[in-house]
Amino acid sequence: MVFLGSGTPIKLRGPPNPSFLFGNLKETWFSTTPIGEPNLQEKWHERYGHTISTRSGFGAQRIVTTDAKAIQHIMRNEHIYGKPQGNLRILKLILGEGSGSGIFVAEGEKHKLQRKVMNPAFAANQIRELTGTFFEKSFELRDIWAAKITSASGVGEIDSVDWLSKTTLDVIGLTGFNYHFNALNDTGKVNELNKAFSAIFGSSDMTSVWIPLQAQLPKAIKPLLMAFARTSGAMAAMKSSAEIMQRTGKELLAESKAYLAGTGEKNDNWGARDLLSLLLKSNMSTDIPEDERMSDADVIAQVPTFLIAGHETTSVSTTWALFSLSRHQEIQTKLREELLSVPTEKPSMDVLNELPYLDAFVRETLRLYTPLTNVARIALQDDIIPLAHPITDSDGVVHDSLPVRKDQPLIIAVLGVNTDKTLWGSDAYEFRPDRWLKIPDDVHTIPGVWSNLMTFWGGSRACIGWRFSIIEMKALLFTLVRSFEFELAVPVEEIILHRVASMQRPSLSSDDSRAKLPLLIKPLKS
């Protein structure tokens, strides 16, 4: 099999190219979608098929697929399908990893070795130990919200996006590296690391367009584009923030090493349970050969990695959960009845996992409102991808496999798989937790690491913290739904899915410049 240049010899169908400079990128990255309707990319799949062609910068082709068989092939052959170098550069720019590589950007054998060292810190037994911290921060948020309810009306209004973001930031600080952000305890004193993290994710200028775009451009043009981006204030803020995270990471590493040295690896009473300390303990274990241990630089690089993976995605998912409860009062009532049947306000991880309707509700939230909507890969060599759904090309010819050339960009449409009507049925866009009592047989073909969903990806690069995220989300919902009744503070028609790059957040049609979801809360009647 010999191909020349990137692309595929098949004439794939897809949407028209609206812009030579941006291709289809701007209309998908910065799109808004009414609740309960397919987004633009999903509409393309409904029209053109499971595997389609779209355009990125300067007319370059991207293949986008929701085909479960194709996705499984891509996952199983990571030596053929790697992360695009442009995406890795973006991650390194945001994370400020210097000479080290966090698990987000480590590739090949280095990634395998990092997973081997880090897996014990994310095992079920460790998450079981952290569940108490999840609840402590949930209680703190509950008490703050309760104080916002006025005695006159018996109602309070909160922005769930803002408060849940603060809560999950506090959680990952404590459980990740025993660091106190104190984001919930707003004393007016600015935490340096908190400020750095906000700067990285608060950029709203053109850098948010140019940086992702450079990953899609011809090599000769990328230096010019990045030179332009570096002139922006947001780029300077990101660089400064990354330096702060690097410095903080070094300090946290030194503290954890000192603690470990003082207690000894074999000490069964060793008390530090945060992820960084456990990672260090695993890394220094005699079970890990010297040549397989992570360098200090690589350990430090995990600090911003933990922050991103353990904060933003969980807060967004929990926000969508509260939205769904507010919109579907009958589901809220049913869930609350189950949660109130538990005779303690601080159940264990195992008790949380034994609550069937809570589990179904979380699964449905993460299916329909997956935080990350797409995953990017690039072919490192020529290959033929098998398909579950044959392609009918623009000439009407049917193909049961997809040949791709080296350097061909591919997009796995995570949200598209989670809402594929050929898998989930005609009600795929409806929020219905009861579907999990008996899911269609075809759903079992989805190769996700958890619950036949693509939300946490799958294969050897599946999200290492998926248990952490699910149990934190369940603890937050357990506490809040037992404490408050939730209603939307604005008409549902005003709430839209606002997508920036691959992250989808709620915002208001009257102001889609930032994520926001105002809710009305009432204390639960005893």
The whole-number pLDDT of residue 406 equals 95
100's tokens: 């080290």
The whole-number pLDDT of residue 300 equals 84
Q: Ranked by mean pLDDT, which of 8-17, 32-41, 226-235 comes out on top?
A: 8-17
Mean pLDDT of 283-312: 84
Instruction: Look at residues 343, 363, 368 and name the one whose alpha carbon lies nearest to residue 353.
Output: 363
Mark 310-333 as b/e (b = at least 16 C-beta within 10 Å): bbbbbbbbbbbbbbbbbbbeebbe
The whole-number pLDDT of residue 266 equals 42
* Higher per-residue confidence, 222 vs 344: 344
Q: What percent of the chain has pLDDT over 70?
A: 84
Q: How far apart are CA 422 and CA 424, in angstroms?
A: 6
Single-letter amino acid, residue 251: E
Q: How far apart are CA 490 and CA 518, in angstroms?
A: 7
Instruction: Look at residues 255, 134, 248, 140 and name the one whose alpha carbon lies nearest to residue 186.
Output: 140
Q: How far apart are CA 462 and CA 447, in angstroms?
A: 10
Specify if 6 maps to a domain.
no
Q: How far apart are CA 410 and CA 58, in angstroms?
A: 16
| Among the ranges given (261-275, 279-293, 410-424, 451-465), the one the predictor scored with the smallest mean pLDDT | 261-275
The whole-number pLDDT of residue 504 equals 84
Mean pLDDT of 145-167: 92
The whole-number pLDDT of residue 379 equals 96
What is the residue-averaged pLDDT of the chain? Answer: 86
Q: Is the pLDDT of residue 13 over 90?
A: yes
| Tokens 């920036």 -> residue | 500
Q: How far apart are CA 452 and CA 315, in angstroms?
A: 22
The whole-number pLDDT of residue 189 equals 61
CA distances in angstroms from 4 to 7, 407, 408, listed in the order given: 9, 11, 11
* Contact of 439 with 138, CB cutoff 8 Å: no
The whole-number pLDDT of residue 505 equals 87
Angle, CA of 137, 140 and 143, to the nearest 5°: 150
* Contact of 399 with 373, CB cutoff 8 Å: no
Query: For 215-251, how does the pLDDT look when each residue is reduced to its tens digit (9 = 90+)?
Result: 555 565 666 666 655 555 556 666 777 788 788 888 8
Q: Is the pLDDT of residue 449 over 80?
A: yes
DSSP symbols for 331-348? HHHHHHHHHHTSS-SS--
DSSP symbols for 381-406? S-EEEEEEEEEE-TTS-EEEEEEE-T
Q: Decide: helix, strand or coil at residue 22.
A: coil
Q: How many CB atoms lie within 10 A of CB 188?
A: 4
Specify if 323 maps to a domain.
yes
The whole-number pLDDT of residue 1 equals 35
Specify if 435 maps to a domain.
yes
Domain housing 244: 25-523
Give how many domains the chain has, as a whole number.
1
Rounded to 5 degrees, φ, ψ at 82 are -105, 175
Q: Is the pLDDT of residue 4 over 50?
A: no
Q: How many CB atoms lie within 10 A of CB 241?
A: 24
Mark 364-376 as b/e (b = at least 16 C-beta within 10 Å): bbbbbbbbbbbbb
Query: For 385-435, how does the pLDDT look when each residue is reduced to its tens digit (9 = 90+)?
Result: 999 999 999 999 999 999 999 999 999 999 999 999 999 999 999 999 999
Rounded to 5 degrees, φ, ψ at 130 are -85, -10
The whole-number pLDDT of residue 207 equals 44
Put simply, whether the predicted model's pTM sits higher than 0.85 gets the answer: yes
Beta strand pairing status for 409-413 and 61-65? Answer: parallel
463 is in an annotated binding site: yes
* Higher per-residue confidence, 4 vs 176: 176
The band of 5, judged by pLDDT with boundaries at 50, 70 and 90, is: very low
The whole-number pLDDT of residue 270 equals 39
Q: Is the pLDDT of residue 148 over 70?
A: yes
Q: How far apart are CA 489 and CA 295, in angstroms?
A: 50
Specify if 269 maps to a domain.
yes
Q: How far apart are CA 456 and CA 441, in angstroms?
A: 20
* Contact of 504 with 373, CB cutoff 8 Å: yes
Q: How far apart are CA 324 and CA 364, in angstroms?
A: 10
Angle, CA of 75, 127 and 311, to the nearest 5°: 70
* Higher per-residue confidence, 178 vs 396: 396
| Tokens 């410095």 -> residue | 247
Q: How far apart are CA 409 and CA 170, in angstroms?
A: 37
Non-local (6+) Cβ contacts of 358 within 8 A are 335, 338, 339, 352, 474, 477, 478
How many residues are given for the chain?
A: 526
Beta strand pairing status for 156-159 and 495-500? Answer: unpaired
Q: Name the burial class of residue 6, with classes exposed (0-12), middle (13-18) and buried (19+) by CB atoms within 10 angstroms of its CB.
A: middle
| Among the ranges given (10-19, 48-57, 254-263, 348-357), the one the predictor scored with the smallest mean pLDDT | 254-263
Which CATH number characterizes residue 116's domain?
Answer: 1.10.630.10
Q: How many CB atoms lie within 10 A of CB 505?
A: 22
Non-local (6+) Cβ contacts of 291 within 8 A are none
Instruction: Look at residues 137, 33, 170, 87 and name the one whose alpha carbon lies nearest to residue 499.
Output: 33
379 membership: H or E segment, kind and range: strand 374-379
Q: Is the pLDDT of residue 441 over 80?
A: yes
* Contact of 382 with 84, CB cutoff 8 Å: no
Specify if 485 maps to a domain.
yes
CA distances in angstroms from 295 to 112, 252, 262, listed in the order given: 14, 15, 21
Q: Is the pLDDT of residue 291 over 90?
A: no
The whole-number pLDDT of residue 327 equals 98
The whole-number pLDDT of residue 267 equals 44
Specify if 8 maps to a domain.
no
Specify if 50 maps to a domain.
yes
Q: Is the pLDDT of residue 366 over 80?
A: yes
The whole-number pLDDT of residue 60 equals 86
Mean pLDDT of 346-371: 98
Single-letter amino acid, residue 479: T
Beta strand pairing status for 484-488 and 518-523? Answer: antiparallel
**For the chain, how big is the Rg over CA atoms in Å?**
23
Specify if 291 maps to a domain.
yes
Mean pLDDT of 47-63: 92
